[in-house]
Structure formats: C-alpha cells, structure tokens
C-alpha cells in the first residue's frame, strides 16, 4: 500500500522534525546513553527531554532499556544516522542558500551565528 508507506515516512520525518530530537539522535550516535547524560549534553529541561524521548519512542526511533535506577536509550537502526549524514551533505552542498534560509527563518529569533565546524 503506497499510502501506508507514505504515512510511515511522514511519521518518521515528523518524529525528527525538531532540533532537540535530532540532537538526541545525534548524541546517541555512538551508542546508548542514560537520560541524565542526554539532558546534560543537550542542556534542556528534564521534562522537555522526556517528552521528546517519548515522541521518539512512540515512533520507534529509539529503543530503551532499564537498568536499576536509570533508563538507557539508543537509536534502533543506524539507517537513521545515515539519513542525518546525508542531510549534512545536503546542507553543505547548498550552504549558501541554506544559510540564507535559516537567517530568514530566524528573523525574530536568533538561531544562526555562523557555519563553522560542520
């Protein structure tokens, strides 16, 4: 069913359609981590991190494992990391327009400061 597949893809994209969730996936790139460490590395509120993790869990992006007092999360399939890497290349390939786009989108907010260390 074509529609089911598209719905599925849309779900994945939606799951990743937030900078914090992308950051979570990236921080888990090299293996599982307990929530505490994720929070610490990202510098977000505990509740907020937990909500984003819930989204990623619901969409099956991450797996989790309880160990004693804490919960370890990991990315379920390295294919997703691959997707993020492709987008990094995409970003670099269209650097100029990408920056313009981000700058534009940042209008009132402040999101962009440069493009070093990609």
Partner DNA sequence: TTCGTATATTCGACAAATCGAATATACGAA
Partner DNA sequence: TTCGTATATTCGATTTGTCGAATATACGAA
Burial 12-46 (b: 16+ CB within 10 A, else e): eeebbeeeebebbbebbeeebbbbeebbeebebee
The answer to whether residue 1 forms part of the interface with a copy of itself (CB under 8 A) is yes
The beta strands (E) that lie in the chain are given as 33-34, 62-67, 70-75
Work out which of 46, 48, 60, 70 binds a copy of itself, going by CB under 8 A: 60
The pair phi, psi for residue 34, each rounded to 5°, is -75, 155
Please say which residue, 93 or 102, places its beta carbon nearer to DNA.
102
Count, residues near a copy of itself per rule CB under 8 A? 53
- Shortest Å distance, C-beta 85 to DNA: 22
Q: Give the number of residues written for the chain.
A: 118
Give residues in contact with a copy of itself (CB under 8 A). Answer: 1-14, 16-19, 21-23, 26, 59-60, 76-77, 79-80, 82-84, 86-91, 93-94, 97-99, 101-102, 105, 111-118
């Amino acid at each position: 069913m074509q529609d089911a597949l598209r719905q599925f893809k849309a779900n994945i994209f939606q799951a990743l359609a937030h900078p914090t969730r992308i950051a979570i996936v990236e921080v888990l790139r090299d293996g599982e981590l307990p929530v505490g460490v994720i929070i610490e590395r990202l510098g977000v509120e505990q509740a907020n991190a937990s909500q984003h993790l819930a989204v990623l869990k619901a969409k099956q992006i991450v797996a989790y494992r309880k160990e004693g007092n804490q919960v370890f999360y990991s990315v379920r399939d390295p294919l997703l990391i691959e997707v993020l890497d492709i987008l990094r290349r995409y970003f670099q390939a269209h650097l100029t327009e990408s920056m313009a786009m981000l700058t534009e989108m940042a209008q009132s907010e402040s999101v962009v400061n440069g493009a070093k260390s990609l």
